Amino acid sequence: MALSLSCHATLHLQHQVASRNNSNKNLDNVRSLVNRIGIASVQSSPVESLRNGHWVKLICGASFEDVVDIRNLSLVYTLAGVDCIDCAADASVVSAVNEGIQAARGIVDVRRPWVMISVNDDQDLHFRKAEFDPENCPIDCSRPCEIVCPANAISLQEETMKELSQVAGVSGVLKGGVITERCYGCGRCSPICPYDKINLVTYVRDAATIAKLIKRGNVDALEIHTNGRQTTPFQELWDKLGDSSKYLRLVAVSLPNIGDLTVSTMKTMFSIMQSRLHCLNLWQLDGRPMSGDIGRGATRETIAFAAQLALSNDRPPGFLQLAGGTNFHTVDGLKKERLFQSTSTLKNSINEELSSSLHTLIGGIAYGGYARKIVGRVLSSMQAQNGDASIEDHPEYLLAALVEALTLVGTVKCYDPSLISSAKVNCDP
């Protein structure tokens, strides 16, 4: 009996040692991949990325607030070399992003990306949450809402009610519903519900809270989402933000294509900001919002938007960056339009030094739903095995997630694809 116990303990110890060795090996593989691609040795700042047309921003989602996923996404994309991480304007979300960045830099000494928070001046698709009462849903509903949700933000469970089934022939009710912190407001669940049970509730972030958050010092950039139809709410928000803009390195304005009015609206917004704009500014060209994960064609609108603005000689200063429908095919689309990293002599900043230098016409690309989807598959698989874990504690998953992120970021940063594909072969968790 004692011999059997001793054998069991030895085997257990051997298993632990093997598992730790494997884990260390995978973490070494992560470091080696980041170093071979050259991310760790690149010291260029996010500003240089904007100037050279290889700026990449990860959009965590203006309404996405799952801090476990946000921390892991931030870690993975920091190692992949993004220039900026855009997140909800919420203190705990900002902390999660900064924690992810710090954890990444504890693995390899990569450059710190800027942290950006997103706010809205009025009702906006990016600032809404789905809501419904599952107890009002027919128990026999096939639940298409659960299937269509790209964020796994709807979870329903059937609860049987013996008393009711005896009295009224009812077999049970649905429980659960929308996981609020995971819902980022894409709106896909609402039209698919056959019983019209889902509402999308919009909200506006409070400007005073945003100003305080900016002044805390762990936010580098602000993005204002506007529908561009009227500039009064934009002016009101900018005024309420007061002197907080002097703590920032970049102010971005995210706007949809409003046709012939786009440039004149941009000029009005620029003139509103100008007297208190002490940093760089950027225009985020929001083609087809929150659709990059849908498919290849989703990226067309933002490329058409970029082509339209690239032709304009009288647009106001500021870098141009694509978003809304961006995915793996966006760079190819830009290349076809001869917009990828092509240079311009237009002013890009109110800052004298920067405005006098040559820079690329398009500063870069922001990736949201598509970036979250490709890494999210690895995160889901890790969570299924290990629960809410920090990805660096499971380096086999970290390596797999990093390869996915590099494949996307590398299209803009021009990483060597052969290094990424050779790493992919060895990273099945």
- Residue span 175-204 as binding mask against ligand SF4, x where in contact by CB under 6 A, dash where not: ---x----xxxxxxx---x-x-xx------
Q: How far is the CB of 379 from ligand SF4 (least distance, A)?
A: 16
CB nearer ligand SF4, residue 141 or residue 419? 141
> Which of 44, 43, 46 lies closest to 250, judged by CA?
46
Q: How far apart are CA 57 and CA 351, in angstroms?
A: 22
Nearer to ligand SF4, 111 or 182 (CB): 182
The binder of ligand SF4 chosen from 55, 132, 283, 319 (CB under 6 A): 132
Closest CB to ligand SF4 among 71 and 197? 197
Q: Residue 68 or 156: which CB sits closer to ligand SF4? A: 156
**Distances in Å between the alpha carbon of 35 and those of 23, 109, 354?**
19, 10, 30
Q: Return the structure tokens found at 114.
A: 């800027």
Of the pair 339, 371, the CB lying nearest ligand SF4 is at: 371
Which of 85/178 has CB closer to ligand SF4? Answer: 178
Shortest reach from residue 195's CB to ligand SF4, in Å: 4
Interacting stretch for ligand SF4, rule CB under 6 A, among 129-137, 219-227, 359-367, 411-419? 129-137
**CB 122 → ligand SF4: shortest distance, Å?**
19
**Chain CA centroid to CA 219, Å:** 16
Min CB(197)–ligand SF4 separation in Å = 4
Output the smallest distance, CB 178 to ligand SF4, in A. 5
Question: Which lies closer to ligand SF4 via its Cβ, residue 111 or residue 126?
Answer: 126
Query: How near is the Cβ of 151 to ligand SF4 at its closest, in Å?
Result: 4
Q: Is 116 left (phi over 0), alpha (psi -120 to 50) or beta?
A: beta
Q: Tell which residue, 412, 244, 274, has the closest CA to residue 349.
A: 274
321-340 residues near ligand SF4, rule: CB under 6 A: none
Of 133-172, binders to ligand SF4 (CB under 6 A) are 137, 141, 143-145, 148-149, 151, 153-154, 156
| CB of residue 260 to ligand SF4, shortest distance in Å | 32
Per-residue H/E/C for the chain: CHHHHHHHHHHHHHHHHHHHHHHHHHHHHHHHHHHHHCCCCCCCCHHHHHHHCCEEEEECCCCCCCHHHHHHHHHHHHHCCCCEEEEECCHHHHHHHHHHHHHHHHHCCCCCCEEEEEEECCCCCCCEEEECCHHHCCCCCCCHHHHHCCCCCEEEEEEECHHHHHHHCCCEEEEEEECCCCCCCCCCHHHHCCCCCCEEEECCCCHHHHHHHHHCCCCCEEEEECCCCCCHHHHHHHHHHHHHHHHCCEEEEEECCCHHHHHHHHHHHHHHHHCCCCCEEEEEEECCCCCCCCCHHHHHHHHHHHHHHHCCCCCCCCEEEEECCCCCCHHHHHHHCCCCCCEECCCCCCCHHHHCCCEECCCEEEECHHHHHHHHHHHHHHHHHHCCCCHHHCHHHHHHHHHHHHHHHHHHHCCCHHHHHHHHHCCCC
d(CA 353, CA 342): 20
> d(Cα 335, Cα 53) in Å, to the nearest integer?
12
Residue whose C-beta lies closest to ligand SF4: 137
In the complex, what is the shortest distance from the CB of residue 322 to ligand SF4, in angstroms, rounded to a whole number? 22
Nearest-approach distance from CB 163 to ligand SF4, in angstroms: 23
Residue (103 or 183) nearer to ligand SF4, CB: 183
Closer by beta carbon to ligand SF4, 196 or else 428: 196
Whose Cβ is closer to ligand SF4: residue 101's or residue 145's?
145
Residue choice 59, 70, 103, 130 for contact with ligand SF4 (CB under 6 A): 130
- Map residues 84-123 to x or -, x wherever contact with ligand SF4 holds by CB under 6 A: ----------------------------------------
Distance CA 186, CA 126 (A): 7
Q: How many residues bind ligand SF4 (CB under 6 A)?
A: 25
Residue 326 Cβ, how far from ligand SF4 at the closest point, in Å? 18
Query: Is the CB of 64 or the CB of 367 nearer to ligand SF4?
Result: 64
Interaction of residue 373 with ligand SF4, rule CB under 6 A: no
Q: How far is the CB of 158 from ligand SF4 (least distance, A)?
A: 10
List contacts with ligand SF4 (CB under 6 A). Answer: 130, 132, 137, 141, 143-145, 148-149, 151, 153-154, 156, 178, 183-189, 193, 195, 197-198
